[in-house]
A and B are shown apart, each in its own frame.
Chain A
Amino acid sequence: MTTSMRIFSLLILSLALGIVGREARAENPLDLLIVANSTVPIDTITKDDLKQIFLKQRQTWPGGQKIIPLHVKGNPELRNRFRKIVLAMTAAKEKDYWEDQKMRSGLKDPPELKDVLKAAFRLKGSITYVLRKDYIEGVVKIVATFPAE
């Protein structure tokens, strides 16, 4: 085997391993999934858009449907992870933000629900987040995934 063939083989192997690695990571039960009600007119969403939605800076989906962001209740670990990844804020900063919004325009922070998956299934225009292990196929649609670290 020539040197160039060896390099080529290694490249193919590493690519294959990379794909396998990604496949394996994609199935991690601790992945953070952003899920939305089936009526939501988008199939993918960026982290920046999510931040705007959960800070209520953006309140309607394309087409005018109201966005209903839902925070998870009773799972501070998941809530903190979402805050860190998507909002890029500390708990204190987020508290200040909503205090400011409340006084500025009467805007209220998103509601917190214990079973967000059920709520997202039912509420038109809603969007929330769950761990992959809690996700139920067909109930809501996945619009973004943040792999477990």
Chain B
Amino acid sequence: MKHNVLLIVLCTSFLPLTTLAQEDETEKATPAQEIDIEALKEELRREMREEIEARDSENKKRIEALEAQLEEQELAALEEMTADVDGFEKYFNVYGFFDLTFFNIFMEENSPYKLFVHDRSTFLLSNVNLYVSSQMTETLSALVELKFTFAPQGKILEYEYFNYPGVAFERVDTEIQDFYSVERSKLGGVRIERAHMAYSPVDWFNVIAGRYLTPFGIWNVDHASTVRLTTRVPFTQTIGFLTPAQTGLQVFGRFFPVQRVFLDYAITLSNGRGPINEIVDIDDNKAVGLKLKLTYQADNFNIALGGYGYMGQVSDSKMVLHVVGLDPEITPEEPIKVETAMMMKYDEYVVSTDLTIEIFGFKLQGEYIWQRTAMEKSPARDFSVGLFAGGTGMADIYMPSYIGTAAYGLLSYRIPLLGEMALTPYFLFEYSSYDDTADFSRSVFYIGGLNFAPSRYITLKLDAGVTKPLHEGMGDGIKSIAGQIAVSF
């Protein structure tokens, strides 16, 4: 500390003397140094130029080297990023949807519609569908859609008839009890909606093998509750004029004849319809179908017109065993013979058309379907249907050949909201006559509602509908309200 104080005192003491000496030297040297300064300035300028040029050259070299290095790094990163990609996107996805519906149907106290629909307010979980899709190679893919259901829980097997003893009301009960815990649970079922592989080498030629959705109309292929507007599928679809799925082969493709236009085609070959068509064709007749669909697509205007024609045979047969001792014609040498006896056989011809028009948020979609059934060996009608058709009491009434028609039109307007949200009001009108020999089958339907999609995964729907029978015997018809939440995952 003492040393520091001494140093400060010494410095401050000599500072004025040093300053005076410098001033004196500057005054004496001024005339001689004016010339030297100019020369020095020039020299400095030259040196600076040389130094800048040298630095420029060095920088250029460094930039070139860095650019080369960067390019190398980018290429290396690129190689690394795409090393495992063969030119197609390989994937395996599991996803699905389910919905919960609340509905209440209003009808007259003794309405015949009670045979077909539940008339109390209820929650209903009817769709739990799981998809597994995979792109295995560039041209091979597979898709499986499974529908989990609580069915046949609750299905009504038999009604009770007033003043007709011996026939009791019967409903399926699938309840079982665990052997160990004695916990009770209800068994459900799994329906294979579709399971197929697709070979897709080019746009105009693809092949599907397996169980596939019948490529008709709009609703049959867009059946997920998360993507359809209404709470329920139109009667035109559920009536079953066409089998919703077929087991067999389908060849399909797309052509692009002119700008904005594409033509889709599909040729189907399958077991057709039958009691066990998913796994076995009971007759040798294969069902064939042809679909054509023309689409024009512009920015704010799309139109698509399609059609599907189908021809198949529906049959059912039983096996009758002829055994020795029961059939006198059977000998002990050949103790058993199996006879295949036809129980039901008819041909069906179906034509369906569909139209979609989209223009500035408005969407109009419609489908028309026509079915002709030509009986060769008629099955018995359902008892209740037989009665409605004009039958008497318990007499057997066989189904005659018939023609069924149905059509619907659905008009909607999509209002985009914030982000991915959209609100879509809709109105549906429908007409159906599923059997021209049974007048009671003619009805009209009106449904109005709102569809709101608050997020990518949730769709909320609310609608109200009226079903008006066009036959006096069916009473006043029914009214309904329904709300649904559909979830995709």
Contacts and interface: CB of A to CB of B under 8 A. Distances in A.
A122 B87 CA distance: 9
A122 B74 CA distance: 12
B262 interface: yes
Interface string B68-83: 0000001001110110
A88 interface: yes
B224 interface: yes
B339 interface: no
A106 B133 contact: yes
B378 interface: no
B401 interface: no
Given A52-B256, A58-B203, A108-B93, A124 B87 contact: yes
Nearest to A90: B416
B300 A88 contact: yes
Interface stretch (B117-125, B233-241, B388-396, B419-427): B419-427
A103 interface: yes
A106 B143 contact: yes
Given A58-B203, A106-B141, A124-B87, A99 B226 contact: yes
Given A118-B78, A118-B81, A125-B87, A92 B131 contact: no
A95 B87 contact: no
Nearest to B226: A99
A66 B143 contact: no
A91 B419 CA distance: 7
A92 B416 contact: yes
Nearest to B422: A92
Contacts of A119: 81-82
Interface string B270-301: 00000000000000000000000000011110
B419 A103 contact: no
A6 interface: no
A92 B452 CA distance: 12
Contacts of A57: 254, 262, 297
Interface string A88-129: 101111011001101111101001000100110111110000
A92 B87 contact: no
A125 B227 CA distance: 31
Interface in B37-86: 74, 77-79, 81-82, 85
A40 B74 CA distance: 22
B189 to A, nearest CB: 21
Contacts of B260: 48
Contact of B97 (A103, A121, A123): A103
Contact of B87 (A68, A105, A108): A68
B180 interface: no
Interface string A121-142: 1111100000000000000000
Nearest to A88: B299
Contacts of B143: 105-106
Contact of B262 (A52, A66, A106): A52
Contacts of A106: 93, 131, 133, 141, 143
Nearest to A101: B227
B453 to A, nearest CB: 7
A107 to B, nearest CB: 8
Contacts of A88: 299-300
Nearest to B71: A136
Contacts of B95: 102
Contacts of A51: 297
A46 interface: yes
Contacts of A28: none
Contacts of B254: 57-58
A64 B201 contact: yes
Interface of B: 74, 77-79, 81-82, 85, 87-89, 91, 93, 95, 97, 131, 133, 135, 138-139, 141, 143, 200-203, 221-224, 226-227, 254, 256, 259-260, 262, 297-300, 414, 416-417, 419-422, 453, 456, 488
22 contacts: A48-B297, A57-B297, A58-B262, A60-B201, A66-B139, A88-B299, A91-B420, A93-B416, A99-B224, A99-B456, A100-B222, A102-B133, A103-B97, A103-B222, A103-B223, A103-B224, A104-B221, A105-B221, A106-B131, A108-B93, A118-B81, A119-B82
Given A93-B422, A102-B131, 18 more contacts: A52-B256, A57-B262, A58-B254, A58-B262, A64-B201, A66-B139, A92-B421, A96-B422, A96-B453, A99-B227, A102-B95, A104-B222, A104-B224, A105-B221, A111-B89, A118-B81, A119-B81, A122-B85
